[in-house]
Amino acid sequence: MYDLIIRQAKCPDGSLTDIAIRDGKIAATGQLDSGTTATQILDLHGKVYASAGWIDSHVHCYIKSPIYHDEPDLIGVASGVTTVVDAGSTGANDVDDFYQLTREAKTNVLAFLNIARTGIVTQNELADMEQIDKASVRDAIARNPDFIIGIKARMSSSVVGKNGIKPLVRAKEIQQENNDLPLMVHIGNNPPDLDEITDLLTSGDIITHCYNGKPNRILSPEGVLRDSVKRALSRGVLLDVGHGSASFSFEVARLAIAQGIVPHTISSDIYCRNRATGPVHSLATVMSKFFTVGLSLEQVIECVTCNVADALRLPSKGRLEVGADADLTLFEIQHAPKVFLDSEGQSVTGEQLLVPLAAVVAGVTLFTDEGKSNHVFER
């Protein structure tokens, strides 16, 4: 007897499978016997896709943040996302409060800890090197080992002020002193120059805002990949989208992907304002934009499931495998013209839109507004 069986789920590769869940874990996959019983059965009739639960690895959901904030469940399960990772909204001063607030959420919430004690309460948290206190970071990580999964450094001119590359040098020291936790590095306007940044990065480090359209971007003025970025990628540095309000260009993404420079992870950099008024709206919207620049459905899904789980060292998430956490996203694809905007104000008309219908978190099914009205789920 299982807690939940999802029958005839459509996989991203087009095949069909059944998924059985018990005690918050995936207990069986494949074609289950028709007589197999469960407390709840969802028959998708081969019409609804199922994937491992979507993970948005760059959000801002500390509700008390004065600049970038949102409610975890609005950008999480209400949008088909089972896990969100806050990207440095909090530092050592307030991460404990953030953790306590997230215990009320239905969405799994994790955090990159800002190397600045205050997190993002101003736009220039790394302009004062005194803000970066190694002991405070170490102690915060020790207090929250299952919540803080990495550290974050925002390396753009408005953030670091006159400190240039120094905050990143300190961030790498912090990383090495804390079990080589994943390091996410925000890139934007220079200084510091992107070449300086990438030359410091090592295997597993994450460059977020990888397709931004600013002068300090991954492509040269001629539209080819910078040598420094090429070297970084060869060392195992990862590219994350981090769309946001000012950090995604269709032109840059299209040129890069045409050269085989694909993102390792797709994330939204969502918070209340760019969720409500765009250009982000949701992780599903950001994912859908990548159909217009050359990625397949399977590639897009990998960028929010197994790729993220590997990058963030979350072995129980990201795959529909026996023993994995029973986190799933159920979704459909609408085929109709849809106008998408990037962060530069440029528009592209796509033909496919991902529509999340439900998030399953630890075996509990949470329908989105679209899922509640979908006839496939009628018993």
Q: pLDDT per residue over 92-142, tens digit each?
A: 999 999 999 999 999 999 999 999 999 999 999 999 999 999 999 999 999
Q: How confident is the model at residue 303 (pLDDT cuts 50, 70, 90)?
A: very high
* Strand bridging mode 206-208 / 183-187: parallel
**Could you tell me if 308 and 330 lie in one domain?**
no
Looking at residues 76-102, what average pLDDT do you find?
98
**Could you tell me if 6 and 103 lie in one domain?**
no
- 6 located within any domain: yes
Question: What whole-number distance in Å separates Cα of residue 198 and Cα of residue 153?
Answer: 13
**Could you tell me if 40 and 83 lie in one domain?**
no
Question: What whole-number distance in Å separates Cα of residue 132 and Cα of residue 124?
Answer: 12
**Could you tell me if 163 and 304 lie in one domain?**
yes
**Could you tell me if 227 and 345 lie in one domain?**
no
pLDDT at 309: 98
- 317 located within any domain: no
Three-state DSSP at 20 gives: strand
Question: Quick one: which of 55, 58, 57, 71 has its CA closest to 244?
Answer: 58
Q: Which CATH number goes with the domain that contains 36?
A: 2.30.40.10
**Could you tell me if 12 and 97 lie in one domain?**
no
Q: pLDDT per residue over 170-208, tens digit each?
A: 999 999 999 999 999 999 999 999 999 999 999 999 999
**Could you tell me if 26 and 96 lie in one domain?**
no
Q: Which CATH number goes with the domain that contains 68?
A: 3.20.20.140
- 318 located within any domain: no
Question: What whole-number distance in Å separates Cα of residue 376 and Cα of residue 45?
Answer: 8
What domain range is 331 assigned to?
Answer: 2-51+323-374
Binding residues for Zn(2+): 58, 60, 152, 186, 209, 269
Query: What are the tokens at 348?
Result: 């592209």
The pTM of this model reads 0.98
**Could you tell me if 238 and 336 lie in one domain?**
no
**Could you tell me if 182 and 305 lie in one domain?**
yes
Q: Write down which residue in 312, 343, 363 finishes a domain.
A: 312
Question: What whole-number distance in Å separates Cα of residue 25 and Cα of residue 11?
Answer: 19
Three-state DSSP at 99 gives: helix
Residue 13, classified by CB atoms within 10 Å of its CB into exposed (0-12), middle (13-18) or buried (19+), is: exposed
- R_g of the chain, CA atoms, integer Å: 20
Q: How confident is the model at residue 378 (pLDDT cuts 50, 70, 90)?
A: low
Looking at residues 250-271, what average pLDDT do you find?
98
Q: How confident is the model at residue 61 (pLDDT cuts 50, 70, 90)?
A: very high
pLDDT at 145: 97
pLDDT over 70 at 51, yes or no = yes
Torsions phi, psi for 345 (to 5 deg): 85, 5
DSSP 28-88: EEE---TT--EEEEEE-TTTSEEEEPEEEEEE---TT-SSS---HHHHTGGGTEEEEEEES
pLDDT over 60 at 379, yes or no = no
**Could you tell me if 219 and 357 lie in one domain?**
no
Looking at residues 147-169, what average pLDDT do you find?
98
pLDDT at 376: 77
Would you give the distance in Å from CA 274 to the centre of its chain? Answer: 15
Binding residues: 58, 60, 152, 186, 209, 269
- Cβ-based neighbours of 240, under 8 Å, separated by 6 or more: 57, 58, 184, 206, 207, 208, 209, 210, 263, 264, 265, 266, 267
Return the number of other C-beta atoms located less than 10 Å from residue 104's C-beta.
10
Q: How confident is the model at residue 377 (pLDDT cuts 50, 70, 90)?
A: confident
pLDDT over 90 at 267, yes or no = yes
Looking at residues 232-239, what average pLDDT do you find?
98
**Could you tell me if 24 and 118 lie in one domain?**
no
Whether residue 156 contacts residue 189, with contact meaning beta carbons closer than 8 Å, is answered with yes
Mean pLDDT rounded to a whole number for the chain: 97
Q: How confident is the model at residue 21 (pLDDT cuts 50, 70, 90)?
A: very high
pLDDT at 375: 76
Three-state DSSP at 368 gives: coil
**Could you tell me if 254 and 287 lie in one domain?**
yes
Q: How confident is the model at residue 350 (pLDDT cuts 50, 70, 90)?
A: very high
Question: What whole-number distance in Å separates Cα of residue 40 and Cα of residue 32?
Answer: 15
